[in-house]
Amino acid sequence: MKEKNASNTLLPHHIYQLKLIFLFVLGFFLFVFLWHIAAENNANMYLYQWWYFWIWESFYVIYLLKVRNTIPKKERINPKKRPIIYWVILGITLVALSQSSFSVERFLALDYSFIIFSLFLADSYWDFTQTITKT
């Protein structure tokens, strides 16, 4: 529900969610761009994927942690409001996909990037620090 004095600006919590989604998509497109450059130069993308991963993911994690720290504690979502079952299903799906016998060449950098993205996305819906300090 909207408050009477609510403005049309986004709250810091929603800005955090949008930034983490848009930055992940940007990182994916940068990876595709790097893939095309490597293919044109006959470079080994399985080696260069780690250069991409460590540089991009370091920026991604540090930047999102800084943005996350701008969210006031009162605005963080109560863990009881969002079911964690979706994230459990995501984890089971990731494990099942990694155990499957696909013959497709996979880039582990993209898998690890998606895991980091899903942890940040889960954190945007569930404040894990609040849960950890309570136990």
Per-10-residue mean pLDDT, the chain, length 135: 58 84 90 86 85 91 91 68 64 68 65 83 67 51
Residue 110 within a domain: yes
- Asked, for residue 94, whether it belongs to a domain, the answer is yes
Q: What is the pLDDT of residue 5?
A: 47
- Residue 30 covered by a domain: yes
**Prediction pTM value:** 0.68
Q: Is residue 6 part of a domain?
A: no
Examine residue 42 and state whether it is found in any structural domain, yes or no.
Answer: yes
Q: Is residue 5 part of a domain?
A: no
Range of the domain at 99: 12-134
| Domain count across the chain | 1
**How does pLDDT run across 18-55, given as a tens digit for each residue?**
898 899 889 988 988 888 888 899 888 888 888 888 99
Q: Residue 38 has what pLDDT?
A: 86
Q: What is the DSSP string of the chain?
A: ---TT--SSPPHHHHHHHHHHHHHHHHHHHHHHHHHHHHHTT--HHHHHHHHHHHHHHHHHHHHHHHHTTS-GGGSPPGGGS-THHHHHHHHHHHHHHHS---S---HHHHHHHHHHHHHHHHHHS-HHHHHHH-
